[in-house]
Amino acid sequence: MKLNPEFYQGKKVLVTGHTGFKGMWLCKMLSMFGAKVTGYALSSPTEEGGKVFREAGVEAAIHSVIGDIRDWAHLAKVFAEAQPEIVLHLAAQPLVIKSYEEPALTYETNVMGTVNVLECVRQTESVRSFLNVTTDKVYENKEWSWGYRENEPLDGYDPYSNSKSCSELVTHSYKKSFFADGRCAISTARAGNVIGGGDFSENRIVPDCIRAAYVRQKIEVRNPYSTRPYQHVLEPLHAYLLIAQAQYEDGKYADWYNVGPDECDCVTTGELTDIFCRQWGEGLTWENVSVEGPHEANFLKLDCSKIKSRLHWQPRWHIEDALRETVTWAKAWQQGEDIAKVMEMQINEFLGENQQ
């Protein structure tokens, strides 16, 4: 099975979290496919992110609604007006450190926000395909060296990871309780650590690298020995669109899917930073600034056998490729280039490889 961009031509798609890093790229792809996209999210969390959202042409290409997924009445009104056929749920409080600082907000957004979205799906007859995007951190992390499979226990440690585990369980319950008749296919996707141009979040390694590179300072690395499944943002987005398409066409594909890189691209944060420095050039270097802080997993990998065997999905860009494209984007942004064209070129290059 392959992602068919023509499938999305004219389809009504509602994306929550459309102003965020992944949501912005996803809406860019959908608008290029000719989908009729409604986005629902808070304003971009950073000033730079909001600027990219506008300059990338995303805001102009879709129907953008600024709203909070904790506000069920507003969300329900948007669903009623949009009558979506496909719903892709990305809205979340996505940061581990912030979840320690604001745990209640994190649970309200990631758990009750998911309940609100699923309630809207339940009450909107037009919806035939729903995907909840969670995280690789939903699993009970035992710090072992092999990848977690979809049937491993869910028990995220920190408030962010745990709230996403709860979001998974909420989705499972709704699927069994309200969608057993097959009216709407329900899946979740547990993606690895995503990198790419347009991410301006705090306390994320690649945005930290870019900020340091812009001002020619040494990069400060908090956890250089932690292993993570890093992947370019287009990898999971391709998987999300493939899952949504596959289950729309045949409900047997509705399931829980890991989405991550191959074993060779699961690297430590220090190795990732080394590659970034080589790609950026200009003598960029980094230093270890490990300090005692909130608990974060040291070792995390995903076993993606299920999505590979069932949907024939395969990651395409190795970590060097992912960082090269990220550096290209970041330098284009710094130099004031047409960022919409840069994104379209990267999407077309990636999709061209995936259609071979």
DSSP-assigned states of every residue in 177-219: HH-TTSSSEEEEEEE-EEE-TT---TT-HHHHHHHHHHTT-PE
pTM for the whole structure: 0.95
Amino acid at 218: K
The C-alpha R_g of the chain, in whole angstroms, comes to 19
Domain 10-354, what fold? Rossmann fold (3.40.50)
Mean pLDDT of all residues belonging to the chain: 95
Write out pLDDT tens, residues 14-73.
999 999 999 999 999 999 999 999 999 999 988 999 999 999 999 999 999 999 999 999
pLDDT of res. 192: 84
Q: Which of 120-129, 185-194, 226-235, 298-307 has the lowest mean pLDDT?
A: 298-307
Nearest alpha-carbon partner for 311 in 238, 204, 262, 261: 238
pLDDT of res. 294: 64
pLDDT of res. 353: 66
Confidence band, pLDDT 50/70/90 cuts, at residue 292: low
Distance between CA 38 and CA 325 in Å, rounded?
28
pLDDT of res. 354: 52
Distance between CA 69 and CA 74 in Å, rounded?
8
Q: Is the pLDDT reported for residue 100 higher than 90?
A: yes
Q: Is the pLDDT reported for residue 298 higher than 80?
A: no
Torsion of CA 194, 195, 197, 202, to 10 degrees: 90
CA 216, distance to chain mean position in Å, is 29
Report, as an integer, the average pLDDT of 338-343: 98
* Terminal alpha carbon distance of the chain: 12
Nearest alpha-carbon partner for 25 in 232, 261, 317: 232
Write out pLDDT tens, residues 138-190.
999 888 878 999 999 999 999 999 999 999 999 999 999 999 999 999 999 99
